[in-house]
Structure 1
Amino acid sequence: MYMLVNCSNCHTPLQLPPGAKSIRCAICQAVTHIAEPRNAPPPSTNTYPPPSSSSVVPSPNHYAPVPPSSHGRKKAVICGISYRYSRHELKGCINDAKCMKYLLINKFKFPESSIINLTEDERDPYKIPTKQNIRMAMYWLVQGCQPGDSLVFHYSGHGSQQRNYSGDEVDGYDETLCPLDFETQGMIVDDEINATMVRPLPRGVKLHAIIDACHSGTVLDLPFLCRMNSSGQYIWEDHRPRSGVWKGTNGGEAISFSGCDDHQTSADTSALSKITSTGAMTYCFIQAIERGAGATYGSILTSMRATIRETRSGGMGGGGPVTSLITMLLTGGSLSVGGLSQEPQLTSCEPFDVYSKPFSL
């Protein structure tokens, strides 16, 4: 059983092998030494948040394990943050979480018991989308994964950037996700997301990330970005860091759809709709699947981009199977989006032919 400890320098959660007395952080390279406890009381499993005097953090085993299957397991983490009652409030993110959960269960046959939902509406304190809980959910998602497993990480909330000083970002900035408590606990940086969910993936395991946030193009720090023009032609840009650090997987497959390029912002669908709202990227992704454009990664990306482009002239309205999906969940109305300039992005651990590779979760 691995114990989780925080890096003494950057506070990234690290998996300490049994019996180890120290561990080196893969992100900042600092060595954290584990002191032997003296007359320590038995650990409590009911303390939340963890005592600030300890570097030990809650185990991802708090979440129920998913039983293995001869066909592989399906596991998902869905995170929707509205930042309710703050100046950062967003309108559509919890609706995004509801719609993605519905899609995964009913379209892709994910067992409901294998989906961890992190929203402010959850009563379980371990499922509120704080920085620590999102970190633990990411660990849970990849923990014990085996060939044949399909993993999904969906995030809808604020995203941001911060200056990168290591020289491993093409544009000089790290991309970040903003947990509910980011103003006091800080953001989750792409280096940590990559180290937690991407690099451990063994051969035969698939991870799909669907990120509906600003500045999210390369938020998983995957090595290759599909640069596609308006006519659907594309090239793979090489985003491997000059330092030579490998940001790909351990043989598995990691692919991310994100709401916009690193320098862009993402919107929700409340621009024209007075009924309800979702994130524009989540809406367009679900719409691509529901309208039959989900055969390949290229068809999904081009469908999402076409839907976004339609909104620039105010031409997109509700309608089609996706509306029935969302209205079943929400209010019985249709959705509209207007005035968006974002361009959904596709990144991957390896280049591939986006128009021939079948999409599956």
Structure 2
Amino acid sequence: MSSHKEKTNQQTQEAMFRYKKCRNQNKGEAQIICCNCKGEFHVPPTTTTYRCPRCQAITASSSRNVQSNKDRGNEMGLVKSSFPTKNIIKSDHISQNASKSEYVLNRSPRSFSLVCSFSPSGRSNKRAVLCGVTYRKKRYRLKGPVNDVANMRELLVKVFDFPTECIHELTEEKQCVNFHPTKTNILRELEWLVEGCQKGDSLVFYFSGHGIQETDSKEDEIDAMDESICPVDFLHEGTILDNELNSILVWPLVEGVTLHVIADTCHSGTVLDLSYVYDPEKFTWKNNKPPSKEPSRKNPSGGRAICVSACQDHQMAADTSAFKGKGMNGVMTYLFTKVIKQKPDITYGGLMEQMGKEIEEIMRNNCRPSFLQHMFRPRIVQDTVISSSEEFDLFGTIFTL
């Protein structure tokens, strides 16, 4: 019997390819509908991979194996049996005591193949990858990430003038499985994000989903823990460690390129593993380079990387319906987009301060304080964190993407 990953779900394939099994009688060509822009084009019948002439998206043939969406929520026994219905802590329902090997056994090697090559006739200096993972049909599911991605997309387009064709979204709502937030797809899109970056480029990676901590095996973490993000298939394929995010996203940055990572996930304070973390109590940058047996590389090749995180490494981030009453949102993402829309000329320091004040105000004045107090646990508040590959004047620099 073939393995689970090799099983092909016919309905998923049809949604992905919308492949018409008809051939041009004169040319013997197959007619394809692009899974991205829905444009129609013809290809030779023996072709296995197709690049859309309109949007440049690549679509695999119907013979390609596709990972199914079968529910795997209980396979590893990592999930607690109960959770609040209104406020969900983003990693509290994944056992913190589960050993790393339990969910990293089947990690596959990185395999990159770019799905899209944007702006074939002209290069944009703004690109973004927005990833929202709901883990649907799992007991540790989240309801906010899809709304978070929509909010971030609106912010990038309306406030920071990102071209829509240069924003890639990975969610489980996408019909095309190339755009589901699997580990392989996320890693592929991260490489696309930084590939060929040039001076003046503004790059954004946004992630909303679960995050966990794992024991540091390289002795390059001050707290002896690695932070990681959880793709939708992390139980089978493994998490993506902060070291890996740093090497893929930060190392390739050349002079004049700025990367922003916005992480609305638990334990995300140093998820990009950058050299400096801002201390708001001392109004200064802290060195995040631990003494180690071997020197570790954390910085780019001339560019700048900045990470805005939902909480400190030891804290948990949350989804809540307290803001609008309907629908779930990540607390950090909602406040992040709200503050920037209200104050488009705000500085980095002002943004971090304002988000902190908003959380404190909600804790004091919200009409349903018990919800938020339960959500954040007694006296545990979600403290947003900013880290950077280099020190800069936080209160003298306007926030921009």
TM-score w.r.t. structure 2 length? 0.69
Specify the alignment match of 2:397 in structure 1: 357
Specify the alignment match of 1:122 in structure 2: 174
Amino acid at match of 2:385: Q
Match of 1:259 among 307, 310, 326: 310
Task: State the Cα distance separating 1:69 from its structure 2 match.
Answer: 6.0
Specify the alignment match of 1:269 in structure 2: 320
Matched, 1:82 2:134: yes
Specify every segment of 5 or more residues in structure 1 that has no aligned partner in the other structure, as ranges: 1-40, 318-335
Amino acid at match of 1:238: N
Question: Is the contact between residue 274 and residue 389 of structure 2 (CA under 8 Å) also seen in structure 1?
Answer: yes
**Counterpart Cα distance in 2 of 1:207 and 1:188:** 18
**Counterpart Cα distance in 2 of 1:55 and 1:227:** 37
CA gap 1:152/1:67 in 2 versus in 1, 3 angstroms: farther
Match of 1:237 among 286, 298, 304: 286
Matched, 1:203 2:243: no
**Counterpart Cα distance in 1 of 2:214 and 2:119:** 36
**Counterpart Cα distance in 2 of 1:82 and 1:132:** 17
CA gap 1:100/1:129 in 2 versus in 1, 3 angstroms: same
**Counterpart Cα distance in 2 of 1:274 and 1:314:** 15
Specify the alignment match of 2:113 in structure 1: 59
Output one character per residue of 1:74-114: Cα deviation in whole Å (capped at 9) or x when no partner. 00000011111101111111000011001111111101000
Task: State the Cα distance separating 1:213 from its structure 2 match.
Answer: 0.2
Question: Is the contact between residue 260 and residue 305 of structure 2 (CA under 8 Å) also seen in structure 1?
Answer: yes
Taking the TM superposition and a 5 Å limit, the aligned residue runs for 1:18-57 are 45-46=60-61, 47-49=64-66, 57=111
Question: Is the contact between residue 294 and residue 359 of structure 1 (CA under 8 Å) also seen in structure 2?
Answer: yes
Question: Is the contact between residue 112 and residue 191 of structure 2 (CA under 8 Å) also seen in structure 1?
Answer: no
Task: State the Cα distance separating 1:150 from its structure 2 match.
Answer: 0.5
Task: State the Cα distance separating 1:313 from its structure 2 match.
Answer: 2.2
Task: State the Cα distance separating 1:241 from its structure 2 match.
Answer: 3.6
Specify the alignment match of 1:17 in structure 2: none
Specify the alignment match of 2:145 in structure 1: 93
Amino acid at match of 1:192: E
Specify the alignment match of 1:31 in structure 2: none
Specify the alignment match of 2:361 in structure 1: 310
Specify the alignment match of 2:155 in structure 1: 103
CA gap 1:83/1:55 in 2 versus in 1, 3 angstroms: closer
Match of 1:146 among 195, 198, 211: 198
Specify every segment of 5 or more residues in structure 2 that has no aligned partner in the other structure, as ranges: 1-45, 50-59, 68-105
Task: State the Cα distance separating 1:56 from its structure 2 match.
Answer: 7.7
Specify the alignment match of 1:338 in structure 2: 372
**Counterpart Cα distance in 2 of 1:291 and 1:228:** 22
CA gap 1:65/1:261 in 2 versus in 1, 3 angstroms: same
Output one character per residue of 1:276-317: Cα deviation in whole Å (capped at 9) or x when no partner. 121000011011101216421101111111111222224389
Match of 1:158 among 207, 210, 217: 210
SS of equivalent residue, structure 2 residue 395: coil
**Counterpart Cα distance in 2 of 1:287 and 1:359:** 14
Specify the alignment match of 1:332 in structure 2: none
Question: Is the contact between residue 155 and residue 341 of structure 2 (CA under 8 Å) also seen in structure 1?
Answer: no
**Counterpart Cα distance in 1 of 2:386 and 2:254:** 21
Amino acid at match of 2:224: G
Matched, 1:183 2:232: no
Task: State the Cα distance separating 1:156 from its structure 2 match.
Answer: 0.4
Say which one has the larger Rg: 2
**Counterpart Cα distance in 2 of 1:140 and 1:359:** 24
Output one character per residue of 1:205-260: Cα deviation in whole Å (capped at 9) or x when no partner. 1101111000000000011000113xxx5221101142321201110010010100
**Counterpart Cα distance in 1 of 2:355 and 2:343:** 12
Output one character per residue of 1:114-156: Cα deviation in whole Å (capped at 9) or x when no partner. 0000000111111000010010010010011111110011100
Question: Is the contact between residue 313 and residue 338 of structure 1 (CA under 8 Å) also seen in structure 2?
Answer: no
**Counterpart Cα distance in 1 of 2:121 and 2:351:** 30
Specify the alignment match of 2:21 in structure 1: none
CA gap 1:91/1:314 in 2 versus in 1, 3 angstroms: farther
**Counterpart Cα distance in 1 of 2:353 and 2:121:** 35
Question: Is the contact between residue 311 and residue 337 of structure 1 (CA under 8 Å) also seen in structure 2?
Answer: no
CA gap 1:140/1:78 in 2 versus in 1, 3 angstroms: same
Question: Is the contact between residue 118 and residue 165 of structure 2 (CA under 8 Å) also seen in structure 1?
Answer: no
TM-score w.r.t. structure 1 length? 0.77
Task: State the Cα distance separating 1:67 from its structure 2 match.
Answer: 4.9
Specify the alignment match of 1:174 in structure 2: 226
**Counterpart Cα distance in 2 of 1:99 and 1:138:** 20
CA gap 1:283/1:240 in 2 versus in 1, 3 angstroms: same
Matched, 1:246 2:286: no
Task: State the Cα distance separating 1:359 from its structure 2 match.
Answer: 1.6
Output one character per residue of 1:317-336: Cα deviation in whole Å (capped at 9) or x when no partner. 9xxxxxxxxxxxxxxxxxx9
SS of equivalent residue, structure 2 residue 343: coil
**Counterpart Cα distance in 1 of 2:142 and 2:192:** 27
